[in-house]
Amino acid sequence: MATLTTVQPAQDAGLRPVPWRRMTWITWRQHRLALAGVIALLGVAAAYLLITGLPMHQAYGAVSACRPAGSGVCQQAANDFLDTYAPGVGVTLGVFQVIPALIGAFAGAPLLAREFETGTFRYTWTQGFGRARWALAKIAPLAVAVAVAGGAFTLLVSWYMQPIFGAGDHNGPLYPTLFDFLGVALAAWMLAAFAIGVLAGVLVRRVIPAIFATLAAWAGLAFVTGIFLRQHYEAPLVTSSPSIPASAWVISQGWFRGGNPASLDMINQTLRPVDVQAVTPELFQPGPAAPATFGDPVKYLIQHGYTQLTTYQPASRFWPFQWIEGGWLLALSLLLIAATVWLVRRRAT
Amino acid sequence: MNVIEAIGLGKRYGSTWALRGCALAIPAGHVAALVGPNGAGKTTLLNLAVGLTAPTEGTVTVLDGRPAGSPAALDGIAFVAQDAPLYKSLSVADMLHLTRNLNRRFDQSYAAARLGQLGIPMRRRAGNLSGGQQAQLALTLALARRPRLLVLDEPMAMLDPLARHDFMAAVMAAVADGDVSVVLSSHVLAELERVADYLVLITSGSVQVAGEVDDLLASHRVLTGPAAEADSYAQRLDVVNARRGGAQAHLLVRTNGRSGPVPPGWEEHPVSLEELALAYLREPGAGALPGPTRARGAEPMEVTNWQR
Amino acid sequence: MTIDKDVSTAGDRAGTAPSGTGGDDGPAAAARLPASPIEFRLDPGSGVPTYLQLVQQVEHALRLGYLKLGDQLPKVRDVVASLAINPNTVLKAYRELETKGLAAGRPGQGTFIQATLNQVALPELTELRRSLLGWLATADATGLDEDGMVALFTSALRGFRERRGAASGEKESVA
């Protein structure tokens, strides 16, 4: 016969330390499906990189072994290599852009939202532990796991990109779809997505809407960062030379004449004598009456008083930019997580 | 010591007041029943007491002055919400481990023994248990924390009669064993009569009746007599509720301690808890609240005594 | 009151989980001695307060011989676990029995029967019966029917009890 005896009151001294392992395990058990999905997603992506990366590395072996290095033949070999593989890599990484968002959303959003949806917060929030510690004990292990997974995947991507960079791709590591998969950026973006997801979960309190909210917010942030913010981490360099340093990230390029921007019409007017049409400031279409020995339209325009100004970020700024972006993403993540814990504390039913 | 004390407690959701001007002082060592129609504010009151919600106005303290929701309060109160929430995907053993790690005190041997007696297998997922078993599991987890106060929100709503009996038996046994007070809400009066020794009646967001069951029953009577005389007696007596036939009337009367002689031609009967509660529920304007010096720090309350 | 003729099982169920849970069986059950000869039951529809039902059942058991001097009454916890009633109710019933002198509590052990009900001697009983029959005849002649007689008797008994309780300084309502 089991009775509640009054023998043990002295034993309950002090709150037990945060049961990280138990909470991690509980979180896993509770969100098994979502976490399994995350792992599957990363696994599939990793497998794809391996499958396509190995033949690429093999092909690159021939290119890098070419002697004499820098000669026309070897240069051609490198260009051929890039023509074959670079487009596929670009598409792959373009598709992979959604991975951090998905992971953050599916790992982060259900974490707290599920508790509200199923009503189990009525159980957990009334335990002696208190809600803030509980929330933190749920968030912290997953945050670390997500960041670590991001770091590991970055290593794989770096390996994958080696041949492309080695062959001298004109898109350097600062290029938008490449930058956020290299260095510390991926881990930081995945952590940020997770933090956004967790906050969305506590604000929205329903799993599916929270997931969508997370994806939307993350997409917005990534877009703004890639298009507007990142180029200003350090003041971009401007050059009028037509040859731009290798692997630089070209932000904008434009024609100027006499200190003012030159319109497309102006350019076309100048080019009419040689029957070349400027479709865009970078793309030139020679017409039927163009002289056979006409060379580079760019040089022609420069000879006729035009200046091409290129705004760019050199590849040497890759790591400083990584630390900057990683830094503010980390700060943002911590802020969002702190806000989540604060909201959990404050929130009433 | 008062296990739950509320002064001017109010909670508003949007523009609706779920609870307003609520004053309460439930003493320790009792099984207190919180009774009222659906939507009267019982769940709101309990949520405020266990710290799931914060008051819009007023204060609520528990276990002799601890603020509701504070770590000290959480430590001493075990709460089983409606529908006994559990992590459905965890096994019973996992739920035990989780509760053990989320609290200072946890009597693992008690919990394991009780679950064994109830025939609840440790390895089964909580979601695969029957409704009665889930309720018993939630109760076991709560009792194993050895709380000073056990709060149950409509714990038996989903249970069949046998499960209900077993559940209540377990709660009563825990009260008999140790130093546990119980506050439970229900809208089923009949089952509370055997179990409750303190009654709180809540209607439309405020406390209508609060007091020890013995005191309430001793201070109320039903007087049965000629309907024609009912009105004149209603002037002189403290009538809570009157029911009439053509010739006969029943007056549920509050004697306020005075047991005067029964008017000639009238009979008096003792009142059951169910009858008393129903009478007050039918008369929202009537109230029976405890006298002064019950709530610490509050102004002495008058025995409110509205007539129809 | 239904007295469980299998006294052994009545005692065994005391303290284990309520019925339907497949409690002990076999050697373990046989080895445990019953704690009390009687087991309480509850009649929720009778209108009689719970504690009074318990008191009446003890007195009835005494009359019928199920309970003898020195027998132990069921433990409070066991009653509570099987009937799902408030422990204070059981305590109130046992206190009432103590007041009547029928039972006494021994700290740490339980409550035990201390006395038997007053046996009224046969001649007095016969005399009481004769006067009661006379009253019944008078009531019948007045036109009161059986239910009316019972109602009148019950109400008079209540009044008698109240006056006797007030006279001996005891309050009916226990705090």
Contact with chain B for residue A134, Cβ under 8 A = yes
Helix segments in A244-295, DSSP class H: 264-271
Nearest CA in chain A to C14: A1
Contact with chain C for residue B90, Cβ under 8 A = no
Residues in chain A with CB shorter than 8 Å from the CB of C16 are 1
Among A188, A193, A107, which Cα is nearest to A154's? A188
Predicted confidence at residue A209, as pLDDT, reads 95
Nearest CA in chain C to B269: C155
Cα C88 to Cα B46, C68, C81, C175: the distances in Å are: 24, 25, 13, 10
What is the per-residue pLDDT across A137-160, written as a single tens digit (0 to 9) for each? 889 888 998 899 899 999 999 999
Domain C7-113: CATH class, spelled out: mainly alpha
Of C21, C174, C175, the CB nearest to B118: C21
Nearest CA in chain C to B119: C21
Nearest CA in chain C to B178: C77
Predicted confidence at residue C14, as pLDDT, reads 39
Residues in chain C with CB shorter than 8 Å from the CB of A1 are 15-16
Q: Which residues, in sequence order, are bridge partners of residue A307?
A: A256
Of C20, C77, C173, the CB nearest to B177: C77
Determine how β-strand B238-244 pairs with β-strand B198-203.
unpaired
Among A75, A35, A82, which Cα is nearest to A56's? A82
Determine how β-strand B181-186 pairs with β-strand B31-35.
parallel
Q: What stretch of H or E contains A257?
A: strand A249-257
Structure tokens at A38: 């995350």
Residue B169, SS3? helix
The minimum CA-CA distance between C126 and chain B, rounded to whole Å, is 33
Residues in CB range of B228: below 8 A, 6 or more apart: B247
Of C18, C47, C86, the CB nearest to B194: C86
What is the per-residue pLDDT across C100-125, written as a single tens digit (0 to 9) for each? 888 888 888 888 888 877 666 567 77
Contact with chain B for residue A259, Cβ under 8 A = no
Structure tokens at A317: 């700024």
Mutate to test the interface with B, among C42, C52, C80 (most CBs of B within 10 A): C80
Contact with chain B for residue A10, Cβ under 8 A = no
Mutate to test the interface with C, among B172, B191, B219 (most CBs of C within 10 A): B172
Residue B261 CA to residue B256 CA, distance in Å, equals 14
Contact with chain B for residue A119, Cβ under 8 A = yes
Residues in chain B with CB shorter than 8 Å from the CB of C42 are 194
Which sign, positive or negative, has the C-alpha torsion C171, C172, C174, C175?
A: negative
Please give the biggest Cα pair distance in chain C.
64
Predicted confidence at residue A349, as pLDDT, reads 53
Q: Kindly determine whether residue A127 and residue B102, on different chains, have CB atoms separated by under 8 Å.
A: yes
Q: Kindly determine whether residue B52 and residue A126, on different chains, have CB atoms separated by under 8 Å.
A: yes
Residues in chain C with CB shorter than 8 Å from the CB of A3 are 77
Q: Find chains touching chain A: ≥3 CB pairs under 8 Å.
A: B, C
**Could you tell me the residue ranges of all domains in chain A?**
19-234+316-346, 237-314
Q: What stretch of H or E contains B281?
A: helix B273-282
**Could you tell me the residue ranges of all domains in chain C?**
7-113, 122-167
With contact defined as beta carbons under 8 Å apart, do B76 and B105 qualify? no
Nearest CA in chain C to A2: C16
Q: Kindly determine whether residue B90 and residue A30, on different chains, have CB atoms separated by under 8 Å.
A: yes
The minimum CA-CA distance between C21 and chain B, rounded to whole Å, is 5
Say what the pTM is. Answer: 0.78
Contact with chain A for residue B284, Cβ under 8 A = no
Residues in chain C with CB shorter than 8 Å from the CB of A5 are none
Residues in chain A with CB shorter than 8 Å from the CB of C18 are none
Per-residue pLDDT 10s for chain A (349 aa) are: 344 443 333 334 455 566 677 777 777 777 777 778 888 999 999 999 999 999 888 888 888 787 776 778 888 888 888 888 888 888 888 889 899 999 888 889 999 998 999 999 999 999 988 888 888 888 988 899 889 989 999 999 999 988 888 877 777 888 888 888 888 999 999 999 999 999 999 999 999 999 999 999 999 999 999 888 888 888 888 887 777 777 888 888 888 887 778 788 888 888 778 777 777 777 777 777 777 666 777 777 788 888 888 888 888 888 899 999 999 999 999 999 999 999 998 866 5
Predicted confidence at residue A291, as pLDDT, reads 72
Nearest CA in chain C to A4: C77
User: DSSP string spanning B101-158?
Assistant: HTSS---HHHHHHHHHHHT--TTSBGGGS-HHHHHHHHHHHHHHT--SEEEEESTTTT
Among B103, B109, B99, which Cα is nearest to B141's? B99
Q: Kindly determine whether residue B194 and residue C173, on different chains, have CB atoms separated by under 8 Å.
A: no
Nearest CA in chain B to A132: B71
| CA-derived radius of gyration, chain B | 21
Within the 153-182 window of chain B, which residues sit less than 8 Å (CB to CB) from chain C?
162, 165-166, 168-170, 172-173, 175-177
Contact with chain A for residue C63, Cβ under 8 A = no
Mutate to test the interface with A, among B101, B118, B149 (most CBs of A within 10 A): B101
The minimum CA-CA distance between A178 and chain B, rounded to whole Å, is 40
Mutate to test the interface with A, among B102, B150, B158 (most CBs of A within 10 A): B102
Residues in chain B with CB shorter than 8 Å from the CB of C86 are 31, 172, 175, 194-197
Among B155, B165, B201, B213, which Cα is nearest to B304's? B201
pLDDT along chain B (308 residues), means of 10: 90 90 91 89 92 92 89 91 89 90 89 92 92 91 94 86 88 89 87 88 89 89 85 79 85 77 81 88 78 35 34
User: DSSP character for B187?
Assistant: S
Per-residue pLDDT 10s for chain C (175 aa) are: 433 333 333 333 333 333 334 344 444 444 455 678 889 998 877 778 889 999 999 988 888 878 888 889 999 999 999 999 999 999 999 999 998 888 888 888 888 888 877 666 567 778 888 999 999 999 999 998 989 999 888 888 888 888 887 776 655 444 4
Residue B89 CA to residue B146 CA, distance in Å, equals 25
Q: Kindly determine whether residue A122 and residue B52, on different chains, have CB atoms separated by under 8 Å.
A: yes
ipTM of the assembly? 0.85
Residue carrying the six token digits 């510690």: A133
The minimum CA-CA distance between A1 and chain C, rounded to whole Å, is 6
